[in-house]
Amino acid sequence: MIATTLGHWALTLSLVISIYGLVASVLGARQRVPELVRSGRNAIIAVAGLATVASACLLFLLLTRNYQVKYVYDTVSSYLPTIYVVSAFYAGQEGSMLLWMWLLAIFGAVVVVRKRSWNEELLPYVAAVVAGVAAFFALLLVNMSSPFELLPMNPGEGLGLNPLLENPGMIYHPPTLFIGYAAYTIPFAYAIAALVTGRLGSGWVRGIRLWSLFAWLSLGIGILLGAQWAYVELGWGGYWAWDPVENASAIPWFVGTAFLHSVMMQERRGMFKRWNIVLATLTFVLCVFATFVTRSGLIQSVHAFGQSPLGYYFLAFLAVVLGLVISLMLYRREEMLSTRQIRAFLSREFSLMVAILALVGIALAVLLGTLYPTLAELLTGRQISVGTGFYSRIFSPLGAAAMFIIAVCPLLAWGQSSSRRVLHALVIPALVALAFGVALLVAGVGPGHAVFGFSMCLFVLVSILIEFGRGWLARKRMTGEPYAVAFLRLVNKNHRRYGGYLVHLAIVIMAAGVVGSSVYKTDTTLSMRPGESVPVQGYTLQYRDFQIQPLPAKQRFAVTLDVSRGNRYLGAMVADKNFHWNVEQWVTEVAIRPGLVEDLYVILSGLDESGLATLAIQTHPMVTWLWIGGGILLFGTAWAMWPRSRERRSARRTK
């Protein structure tokens, strides 16, 4: 078979070439041999090309449904829609690793091709690190989990994708996450390059600004898409269940958020050089960890370690990375001292430091909770599970602290601020939040911690809006421009500041959604016969009809309900529950009526021949706020990444 041979050889060759690229780049840079450096650069581009060839081969095998290839047999079947055949590319461990490597090689190629004068000296080492990581993945792909492995004969039909994965979420969620994971290799590569060359100033930080924002955004959006997917598929416990696979993707995001903020400290203040190296490394390592956790089942059970050597490869990789970083940091410990110190508590430096600590704290707590069952099983042999209670106890106080810092930090100036001024700036948000909280309590909305959560969100929201307003008025006063012009010019002159504020705004909106949806969720289980009408949570549900229907891939059970509120007819909702033949498994398709205040969420639990249906009717308040916040997050980050006109001009000049 041409495609398997070609794919296999492309991977083998990319292993050889990436090892060569690593050696050539390092030797070339150390001995100052430009030919070798250039050749190492070409090696990265060649690996990107080879990984593309291998990916194209796998895609071709999937699309032509060549079941003799084990990976295709495992993930595709003849009645799987084509779009999910494409998504089967990353449904298994082999394909995921290929996708990782492909994205990494592409990003690496973009970095080496788009060179700038200030990173000339760093670049060979960046290329070397990218080549090294690519070599690791190529080694795994060639040596132990090849997507091109053949079965002894062609089975004629494949097992197919797990029906739970047949959801639009499968198309968007994994690739977005993987883009984030792979992109975090670039900041790590720059960190190593900075350590090796000793150029620990702001040059390397500058090289990764866009990359770290891009990776952070992809990871964040990927997580949200996953949450949305979990929300619409039943049995995964709403949008977030703190399960190990979800946690694994959230941990690097928290550390990455801390990294974004500590980078700012180095760029503007020459501080936190060590933190930046550590956080860049941690984020990268956690991204690789997340990939392994998701695809190898390492965390669910320690036994997975024994079953495949993948875990040992990962541990070896981890040891190499950490050993390298720690020894380089020891070697460069003198150069990493800060040029400035934090001078005052009421300064942006100090509040950023607290924010970074809080974020790393959250990440560590989640990591601990995720690993604890595995470690406990390893040590004591007993199975323990860490429930949602642990996470909410950890997360609520740290989250509230983080929110408070979001409100205060932008009010503080670099260097120092006077307490009078800061208090003055906080008076209005605090009064508004207090009034809101009291009003909620008087109106009988409880419980106390939810009211506190909402008030906190409002406090932050008002302080961000005031911050926008003050900048706006200041600009208006300074320039005398009309209001609209002044506003647009203000946010356009300072993309990073105002993009950042927008992201903070998005976080606040999402936090309010989290508080609302976790506190006020309602759940009613009832049985209905066709034609019956039942009032639930202010809605009236009228059972219209039902369907029991055999389809090629599944047996379909469906109930149609007419929903109205008061006298207003809201529409029909169809709740499905299907039995899939190939995996002999029930999959529930929830009916959701989204709204700003609350989503109506109908689960079909059972349906018999007579039409007697057992339904779970739930309301999920404010879940939509999460998705709205996600949209603002996307926009705000894109705004912060957008180059300013001066940077665009200077980029043109240097060309």
Partner 1 sequence: MATLLVVLMILVVLGFVGYPLLQGIRELEAPALPDLETQEAYADVEDLELDFRIGKLDAEEYETLRCSVTPEADDEIERRVRALRAQRKQKRAARTEAAAPGRCAQCGASLDPDDLFCSRCGAAVSQERVCRHCGTRYDEGDRFCVKCGKPL
CB of 92 to partner 1, least distance (A): 24
Which residue, 135 or 561, has its beta carbon nearer to partner 1? Answer: 135
Find the helix or strand (DSSP H, E) in which 231 lies: helix 202-232
Strands 533-536 and 613-621 come out as unpaired
Which residue, 72 or 234, has its beta carbon nearer to partner 1? Answer: 72
Q: Which of 95, 132, 175, 203 binds partner 1 (CB under 8 A)?
A: 203
| Coil, helix or strand at residue 534 | strand
Q: Which of 15, 22, 26, 43 binds partner 1 (CB under 8 A)?
A: 43
Which residue, 6 or 574, has its beta carbon nearer to partner 1? Answer: 6
Which residue, 223 or 505, has its beta carbon nearer to partner 1? Answer: 505
Strands 522-528 and 613-621 come out as antiparallel
How many amino acids of this chain bind partner 1 (CB under 8 A)?
A: 58
Q: Are 558 and 575 in contact (CB under 8 A)?
A: yes
CB of 647 to partner 1, least distance (A): 8
| Coil, helix or strand at residue 94 | helix
| Coil, helix or strand at residue 646 | helix
Which residue, 475 or 620, has its beta carbon nearer to partner 1? Answer: 475
| Coil, helix or strand at residue 637 | helix
Q: Which of 268, 274, 521, 556 binds partner 1 (CB under 8 A)?
A: 268
**Tokens standing for residue 646:** 């001066």
Pick the stretch among 112-120, 133-141, 240-248, 445-453 that binds partner 1 (CB under 8 A): 112-120
36 binds partner 1 (CB under 8 A): yes
Pick the stretch among 28-36, 179-187, 230-238, 242-250 that binds partner 1 (CB under 8 A): 28-36
6 binds partner 1 (CB under 8 A): yes
Which residue, 10 or 285, has its beta carbon nearer to partner 1? Answer: 10
Comparing CA positions, the residue from 30, 211, 19 lying closest to residue 128 is: 19
Which residue, 92 or 187, has its beta carbon nearer to partner 1? Answer: 187
Distance, CA of 355 to CA of 401 (rounded, Å): 8
Q: Return the axis-axis angle of helices 93-113 and 273-296, rounded to nearest 10°.
A: 150
Binding mask 51-70 for partner 1 (x = CB under 8 A): --x-----------------
| 558 beta partners | 547, 576
Q: Which of residues 204-263 bind partner 1 (CB under 8 A)?
A: 206
Distance, CA of 210 to CA of 212 (rounded, Å): 6
Q: Which of 31, 117, 380, 385 binds partner 1 (CB under 8 A)?
A: 117
Pick the stretch among 36-44, 212-220, 248-256, 591-599 that binds partner 1 (CB under 8 A): 36-44
Comparing CA positions, the residue from 498, 423, 425, 409 lying closest to residue 462 is: 425
Distance, CA of 597 to CA of 306 (rounded, Å): 49
**Alpha-carbon distances, residue 560 vs 259, 392, 532 (angstroms):** 49, 36, 12
Distance, CA of 357 to CA of 363 (rounded, Å): 10
CB of 345 to partner 1, least distance (A): 15
Which residue, 425 or 433, has its beta carbon nearer to partner 1? Answer: 425
Pick the stretch among 233-241, 285-293, 530-538, 646-654 that binds partner 1 (CB under 8 A): 646-654
Pick the stretch among 86-94, 241-249, 463-471, 508-516 that binds partner 1 (CB under 8 A): 463-471
Q: Return the axis-axis angle of helices 2-31 and 34-63, rounded to nearest 10°.
A: 160
Comparing CA positions, the residue from 409, 395, 385 lying closest to residue 497 is: 409
Q: Are 636 and 503 in contact (CB under 8 A)?
A: yes
Pick the stretch among 181-189, 469-477, 536-544, 548-556 that binds partner 1 (CB under 8 A): 469-477
Q: Which of 25, 228, 417, 619 binds partner 1 (CB under 8 A)?
A: 417
Burial class, 520, CB count within 10 angstroms (exposed 0-12 / middle 13-18 / buried 19+): middle
Which residue, 42 or 582, has its beta carbon nearer to partner 1? Answer: 42
Q: Are 393 and 368 in contact (CB under 8 A)?
A: no
CB of 488 to partner 1, least distance (A): 16
Which residue, 39 or 542, has its beta carbon nearer to partner 1? Answer: 39
346 binds partner 1 (CB under 8 A): no
Distance, CA of 368 to CA of 357 (rounded, Å): 16
Interacting residues of 517 by C-beta distance below 8 A, sequence separation 6+: 238, 239, 620, 621, 622, 623, 626
Which residue, 65 or 209, has its beta carbon nearer to partner 1? Answer: 209
Q: Which of 23, 56, 63, 121 binds partner 1 (CB under 8 A)?
A: 121
38 binds partner 1 (CB under 8 A): yes
Q: Which of 220, 252, 471, 621 binds partner 1 (CB under 8 A)?
A: 471
Q: Which of residues 480-499 bind partner 1 (CB under 8 A)?
A: 493-494, 497
32 binds partner 1 (CB under 8 A): yes
Which residue, 21 or 160, has its beta carbon nearer to partner 1? Answer: 21
Comparing CA positions, the residue from 618, 594, 619 lying closest to residue 525 is: 618
Burial class, 79, CB count within 10 angstroms (exposed 0-12 / middle 13-18 / buried 19+): middle
Distance, CA of 535 to CA of 102 (rounded, Å): 53
46 binds partner 1 (CB under 8 A): yes
Q: Which residues are at the interface with partner 1 (CB under 8 A)?
A: 1-2, 5-6, 9-10, 13, 17, 20-21, 32, 34-39, 41-43, 45-46, 49-50, 53, 117-118, 120-121, 202-203, 206, 267-268, 411-418, 421, 425, 467, 470-471, 474-475, 477-478, 493-494, 497, 646-647, 650, 654
